[in-house]
Structure 1
């Protein structure tokens, strides 16, 4: 179909339901994130939906925590703490684990004032979620 991402690309790329123009913009955003990480430093808040295989990133963060403390990785896990909605407010990395943003909630809303899930708005399928602190323990 005109404007669709070719099937061959979909087979070896990140999941994306956008037409080809949106796909390219997302690809450029992902590349910019990785390039900045390489050239400057790791971000203080990671755009988790920008990763191709998120489980590998989450495991690597646990490995970093476990290695720094010389403990087995299978004894380490995450506690999840809800932070604010604005990732730019977090200018330093957390003491353990990682901050992430870029999650979306389906079938509900998010009340940022009370930091809790709420009823979804009519005809709104997805809403952006808050920054989360995945605290390694």
Structure 2
């Protein structure tokens, strides 16, 4: 067995993410079992976005680099209203709804083509900005 394979094996025994995986993945302090569950949720979130189109609420903590998503949101708003992006800031409006990404994944798996999630029906699509979840303890509507 090679040295790197032995290190991976030892990490598995200790429920740790192998260093070689950590170097190629997103930063996380979770043990291996939770890290794998989180990875599956992240992959499914992106897959559903590709498959079904723009989600009503974005799982912000599922992004590798959430600052890039927020910057993209600012860029979309700046282009829409022909404003300089460096003059824009965020406004946050906490909503009364709560959403766990694992619940979203389970509901998406049961969803038929053309149907909308029940939990999405509770949310009005904002005219400007985006709705995000995964920010403890509640959702935030990120407005401009």
TM class, shorter-chain normalised? 0.7 to 0.9
Q: 1:135 aligns with which of 131, 138, 143?
A: 143
Runs (4 or more) in structure 1 with deviation over 6 Å come to none
> SS of the counterpart of 2:24?
coil
Structure 2 gap segments, 5+ residues each: 1-10, 100-118
TM-score (norm 2): 0.71
Kindly report the root-mean-square deviation, in angstroms, between the aligned alpha carbons of the 2 structures: 1.5
Say which one has the larger Rg: 2
CA distance in 2, matches of 1:101, 1:43: 11
Match of 2:49 in 1: 37
Can you give the 5+ residue segments of structure 1 that lack an aligned partner in the other structure? 105-128
Shift, 1:52, TM fit? 0.3
Q: How many residue pairs align between the two structures?
A: 112
Q: Secondary structure at the match of 1:11?
A: helix
Report the 3-state secondary structure (helix = DSSP H, G, I; strand = E; otherwise coil) of the residue aligned with 1:94.
coil
Correspondence 1:68 to 2:77: no
1:131 CA drift (Å): 0.8
Greater per-residue helix proportion: 2
Alignment partners' CA distance in 1, 2:34 and 2:96: 27
Note the C-alpha offset of 1:9: 1.2
TM-score of the pair, normalised by structure 1: 0.75
CA distance, structure 1, for counterparts of residue 98 and residue 35 of structure 2: 24
